[in-house]
Amino acid sequence: MKEIIELSSKTISIERNEFLKVKGSIDTNIYFVESGSLRIFVLDEYEEQTIRFGYKENLIVALDSFLTGKPSDLYIQAIKNSVVKVITKPQFDDFLNTENNRNWWTKTVENLVLQQMEREIDILTTSPKERYERVLKRSPQLFQEIPHKYIADYLRMSAETLSRLKKS
């Protein structure tokens, strides 16, 4: 991870609720979160659907746009005032010139795919209580970094349901 952070030659500050990426834009950067927290979400005509979070010492990326160089329906928005290091696609492509780095990237993407699959299965087949318990076990730091209204959205439940589950 340290090698990736060192690729960055640009740091940007994003204020709470500000967008790093909006629907319809192309974003071929990877961001390393130095501080704060962000979320990736989609917006349909009725509501926002949170897909992922990024917080201190995480990478966050609109992966579809990063990989294809095409516009994406994803938004990336700061939940808290955040500072991110920007790693451009050319910088990252240079990084992938060694076999070790390519292996690291392959494992990172494989892990991301497995996490997304696990999350989809959770949303489709488990109760709110089970989803809450699994996310708490998988990512306890999430509950320190992200406001509960966003976690509730991510878990596809109301904030009240999440609050009730946390108390029980």
Query: Which pLDDT does position 126 carry in this prediction?
Result: 87
Q: Does domain 1-95 have CATH number 3.20.20.120?
A: no
Q: Which of 99, 128, 111, 133 is closest to 52 using CA atoms?
A: 111
d(CA 20, CA 16): 11
Domain coordinates in residue numbering, the chain:
1-95
Q: Which two tokens stand for residue 116?
A: 């997304």
Are 93 and 66 spatial neighbours (Cβ–Cβ below 8 Å)? no
Query: Which pLDDT does position 3 carry in this prediction?
Result: 81
Listing from the earlier edge strand, what are the strands of the sheet with 82-87? 10-14, 82-87, 30-35, 59-60
Q: Which residues of the chain have pLDDT under 70?
A: 1
Residue that has been written with the tokens 């349901």 in this structure? 161
Query: Which pLDDT does position 79 carry in this prediction?
Result: 96
Q: Which two tokens stand for residue 93?
A: 């492509």
DSSP 168: -
| Dihedral of the alpha carbons of 13, 56, 95, 30, in degrees to the nearest 10 | -50
d(CA 24, CA 70): 9
Query: Which pLDDT does position 44 carry in this prediction?
Result: 85
Query: Which pLDDT does position 30 carry in this prediction?
Result: 95
pLDDT digits (tens, 9 = 90+) for 107-154: 999 998 998 898 888 888 889 999 999 888 888 889 989 999 999 999
Residue that has been written with the tokens 């962000």 in this structure? 38
